[in-house]
Structure 1
């Protein structure tokens, strides 16, 4: 087991440090874990809310509105479930020493990008190229 890395509350990764040093890795690990915990708490709230709202609504319009709300809530939950999987994959990359590097080019992903989207697996340039290719193929 690795020793715990000290990380002051005000710590933010900086370009002045070695890329993906133990402090940066710990910063992103904590950020990912907190994000995952928040999503799972939202999930529990959603499930409880859906269970509580299972009732017989006599008015057809009210029932339709309720069903629409439930469908939207379930779609949101599905997106969050996929996000939790991406967070878990990012945590695995931290453990394996691959976090912060583009899966396409092998280059470091900018700290600003990782701070904004810690599940990023590509540099901004590689992501944009990927999306352009995807758009071209989608138009076929």
Structure 2
């Protein structure tokens, strides 16, 4: 997208309660890796939304639980300021403004989380992991706390 300094990648989409579709993606819009968003009413034509959704995390994956949006993302290098490497989640009631990151787990060489809602109390996070000399996929299952 325009304004992302040539860096718009790793998208994830979610259908909003009003039927529109929002895509979250990695952006370097303000010369730091962050998560931006774009919105569409038809799923084909998207308009970039102003602002940054989440700073210093990348590789967004979303799920909606009741009226909450949970965004999972990775901190992948030491340049991501105050967050150690690992996978985090953030909550939002509107899909635009997210709370502070909550650690799911710390770990080096993890990337691209993907989330699956098992039931209203359980989610599973799949993620890539580089374990030299080979790459793999692992998962983490957690209970949703209210």
TM class by shorter-chain length?
under 0.3
Bigger radius of gyration among the two: 1
**Which is bigger in relative contact order (C-alpha 8 A, separation at least 6)?**
1
TM-score by length of 2: 0.24
Structure with greater strand share of residues = 2
Structure with greater helix share of residues = 1
